[in-house]
Chains A and B, each alone.
Chain A
Amino acid sequence: MRIYADNAATTRMSRSAIDAMVECMEKEYGNPSSLYTLGQSAKETLERARTQIAAVIGADPKEITFTSGGSEADNQAIRSAALAGRKAGKTHIISTAFEHHAVLHTLKKLETEGFEVTLLPVHEDGLVRPEELEAAIRKDTCLVTVMYANNEIGTVQPITELGAICRAKGVPFHTDAVQAVGHLPIDVKAQNIDMLSASAHKFHGPKGTGFLYVKKGLPLLNLIEGGAQERGKRAGTENVPGIVAMAAALAESAENMERNTAHLIPLRNRLIEGLKRIPHSALNGDAVKRLPGNVNFCFEGIEGESLLLLLDDRGISASSGSACTSGSLDPSHVLLAIGRVHDVAHGSLRLTLGEDTTEEEVDYMIKNITEVVEYLRSFSPVWRDLVSGKHPFIL
């Protein structure tokens, strides 16, 4: 059996997205900036995609800027707000401790450029407290950026409430919604979202394509200088096939969202219940306020990479927040942010289910993960010390 359980890393392109992409490459190969018919036809195709995408999140097409993906959208959103802030003498930014590196590293860079960054705690459940955001906002705060759903532990933030607080205080609010778009219903107007980042490959579109929503009236800084594409905010000939495929994938995800959610939640809960039966294990992040397909566990006494390799041998593709999978000595900053100590964070496993995951696959995963954890514990000196009482169990 081969099971793909890493849909948070990327997803398989949907049939309709592939078809849309191929058709576009074959027929709409004109440059949207060219004035002859072929070019203008490509331009129309591009604008149709923009309209389709805007509709899914309740935005105006003019508020959508196409980017190379989530990372670029995050960079552009944050840099734009920072520049506007600096011009107004405001250099304080609020975010959270467990953002994606596309956000955290941009903020780190801004710190070296004179900005002050406050990272809100995300607590044991992986959730931001609205009152803590409210208390953190200052007169010189120029941006609040909080991810919609976390890519590792899947927790979904109270975005509407956070947005309302920012709106009331007049602070621009950005959300990295890369893991949420296409999976959760989003309405940027109703939720007071000023800027939102998305990436096509997380919702069955192609890699290397994404978009940034920016509310009308907010300034947008272009990171890439050149031609006048994207109203001068993002130079470079548009990735028309990628964008068309993204629109097709998003339209499909939006249309099937209710059905997909109804399919995924029982499977997710079945997997959580099954893995909970492994002694000294724990679910990471709130059990309910999480993405429909996200399961993330820590297993005490084992290390994540060896778990992944053995699961791969059994046909399961998954991921881990262990240090040795990241190439650094520290385990995932997300797990540390929710208070997992290093010892336990190294033994993490993320399984992210997709629309085609079956109950049979879930049961296969439970059985095989249980066996592999037991096997790795059988020769783990850490596990030995826990069992013998030399060190107390943490989980």
Chain B
Amino acid sequence: MALYSDKVMDHFRNPRNVGVIEDADAVGEVGNAKCGDIMKMYLKIENDTVADVKFETFGCGSAIASSSMATELIKGKKLDEVRELTNKAVAEALDGLPAYKMHCSVLAEEAIKAALDDYYSKHPEKL
């Protein structure tokens, strides 16, 4: 049995939405190099909707795949919906992750939450 599902390997090998948004409306960065995974999410927000999203990740296969999947799950979504995104949803969309890799999907959820926090701190009226 392979370590990862085909879905994880697909997102790992061909990550979606990789890169930087220079004039991002919100940026969230979580993790630290000590534990081995760092994710950074850049959001472009228009009409309370994620108009564009990009990510950068330092981390293992499941960290990269989780970031990629998370960006797909929130792209074009209303912020209210984005706020509801859970790591479980990310892991499920990837057809599951090995138990000891679940923390990587948690990081994806946290990176998006951190970006939203950044957005609301700049736009408290939107909350």
A residues neighboring B (CB under 8 Å): 301-306, 309-310, 313, 322-325, 327, 329, 331, 342-343, 346, 379-384
Contacts and interface: CB of A to CB of B under 8 A. Distances in A.
B75 interface: no
By secondary structure, the B interface counts as mixed
Closest 7 CB pairs of A and B: A324-B60, A343-B33, A305-B60, A381-B40, A323-B36, A382-B58, A342-B34
B76 interface: no
Interface in B69-102: 100-101
A381 B36 contact: no
Q: Looking at chain B, what size class is its interface with the partner chain?
A: 20 to 34
B2 to A, nearest CB: 10
Nearest to A327: B100
Interface stretch (B12-20, B44-52, B116-124): B12-20
B36 A380 contact: no
Contact of B56 (A304, A310, A322, A381): A381
Given A324-B101, A379-B15, A342 B33 contact: yes
15 contacts: A303-B58, A303-B60, A306-B63, A313-B13, A322-B36, A324-B60, A324-B63, A324-B101, A329-B36, A379-B55, A379-B56, A380-B56, A381-B39, A382-B58, A384-B56
Interface string B26-69: 00010001111111100000000000000111111111100000
Interface of B: 9, 12-13, 15, 18-20, 29, 33-40, 55-64, 100-101, 104
Question: Most B CB atoms within 10 A — which of A306, A325, A380?
Answer: A306
B38 A382 contact: yes
A343 B34 CA distance: 5
Contacts of A310: 13
Contacts of B61: 305-306, 309, 324
B59 A324 contact: yes
A270 B99 CA distance: 40
Contacts of B13: 310, 313
B64 A306 contact: yes
Given A306-B12, A313-B13, A327-B100, A382 B60 contact: no
Given A379-B57, A382-B38, A346 B33 contact: yes
A306 B36 contact: no
Contacts of B34: 342-343
A306 B104 CA distance: 13
Given A313-B13, A379-B15, A379-B19, A302 B35 contact: no
A67 to B, nearest CB: 30
Contacts of B40: 381
Contact of A324 (B20, B36, B56): B36
B18 A322 contact: no
A301 B58 contact: yes
B65 to A, nearest CB: 10
